[in-house]
Chains A and B, each alone.
Chain A
């Protein structure tokens, strides 16, 4: 399925947000590695998916009406057995129904637990004067508290991608501070360029967030993603 089909099918259903599964399909289409992800509509499907991937896995609520999944108890991490997956499935559905009784629920997504890496984020928003703008930063507390992020206007050239990564104050963390695994900067540069190229050619994308991305010495993996369409 081409990226345009993913966007089109969401639009047909009158949705302005892609589900996490759709968002990751879209990222894969544009050449960005993501964690594998499958939709499970029943508890049995969830357990079968988990066995297929191998443990540990992550379960998340899939609903077009729920954007902030953790807020409704819709995320369970590090599930190590079929029993844990089954229990998590029930808990997620119950909690989501309790918090958002009117939400349409498609099921849960099952994905393998990604190997931890240095967390980075890439975001795209549309500036009132300059239209699509990319943001890059370290994930977690650094971006939230210190606002240690850099911006560039789309389209980026290679130098822009390199400079916006080097520009953040937390850059030494990416180089592998105190024995931590360093991030592969070239992979992150290419990631920025892929996102830039895609949003430049697709004005129908209003916002795009890949948060977090786990950066490794030999690659990078998009662990969660959010895509909002223009109405």
Chain B
């Protein structure tokens, strides 16, 4: 019995303690609830004040009623979207579309760049062909002149050799250019 009474007396304060703590939590919750309610009321008041101020500003700035209405509608939609968590969905969809469009634009740009480069190469090849024709003619003329001077013994042998070397080098360069032009044209035909 003694043991039982001791255990009961020991348990009672604990129960009270629990009750007390439960009561304190309830009070705190009530206070919190009150706090939230007060916050909401304050927000409402501030909103009303804001609306009043807005009306005052509307009177002073003379903003058209239609634009104000649309602005309010948009802000309400945005707020609703934020509350529902829909805000990001617009961005995602938009981003996806943009990515696809960007890819297509980039492909178009690459194609145009390729065509532009091909056109430029074509122009260079035309210029090179003209240069080859002119070069061949000039080399032939220089060689003929050199041989004539040598025949008439107007130049020394050393001079003849150096000038002949220059003409040979030029001819070689002209022929190389001709080969390059031919190779590029062949590539174009193969494509």
Chains A and B form a bound pair = no
Residue ranges of A at the interface with B (Cβ–Cβ < 8 Å): none
